[in-house]
Amino acid sequence: MEFLRELFSLEGQVALVTGGTGVLGGAMAQGLAQAGAKVAVLGRRREQAQARVDAIIAAGGDALALPADVLDRSQLEAARTTLLETWGRLDILVNAAGGNLPAATLPPGESFFNLPVEGLEPVIALNLHGTLLPSQVFGAELARAGRGCIVNISSMAAQRAMTRVVGYGVAKAAVENATRWLAVELARSFGAGLRVNAIAPGFFVGEQNRALLLNPDGSLTPRGRTIIDHTPAGRFGEPAELLSTLIWLCSPGARFVNGVVVPVDGGFSAFSGV
């Protein structure tokens, strides 16, 4: 048991989770705290960030709310200053901020050729720039120390073409490429102790996709039924099911794992549909 604790414990580590006010990001923040890390919860919604922090503290953890927009460098730099003044270090960055937007989604029956390209820009910025900018601001502290890890959040839409979500799919595919690029660049420039990986969740019910997947009575929408039919596990994921992969990627047990994207999807990416 002592050997396992040494491999997977995050005791003494400081983690920051962007998008920590969301369903998945919030679960990740709580999971890192349960593994022993001090956790900073970064999100635009101050009250929700503080509520997540209060829940972590109530469970015996140590947490800090950092209200900030992942697309605003000055806010991120101010958050970094607060974090370092509070805890003096940073070891883990989880880029969980992201999501889809209606303007980047093709409505049923509409043609791609009529989709305004301007509608794609905000969702690409949120997912791609919202990963790269925190990686610059907070990753600079990891690089200065020559150790630590960044975990990005991708999607099944990055790997397989999915109807309607053109902007989101393009953005998450870019996040996966950026993950591999950063893994190589940072390790070569600052040492193998600095790693970058990603998790590609399957389908989890959250604030943004609930209406796409579930009817008001909780039954599956046609899109939700298609997804379940193509998921060998036969269900949507639970946020807590991401935590073991996240903790592993952040722990000493993954110190030789760099530049990978790990699917946590109930088999969705393995199934041809036949």
Residue numbers annotated as active site: 168
Q: Which two tokens stand for residue 212?
A: 């796409």
Rounded Cα distance, 23 and 270, in Å: 25
d(CA 98, CA 76): 16
Sheet with 148-153: strands ordered across: 63-67, 38-43, 14-18, 92-95, 148-153, 194-201, 261-264
> In one letter, which amino acid is 162?
M
Contacts of 22 (CB under 8 A, 6+ apart): 43, 96, 97, 99, 206, 207
Distance of CA 181 to the CA centre of its chain: 17
CA distance 105 to 260: 28
Q: Which residues of 157-166 are buried (b: 16+ CB within 10 A; e: fewer)?
A: bbbeebebbb
Residue 220 is classified by DSSP as B
β-pairing, 92-95 vs 14-18, is: parallel
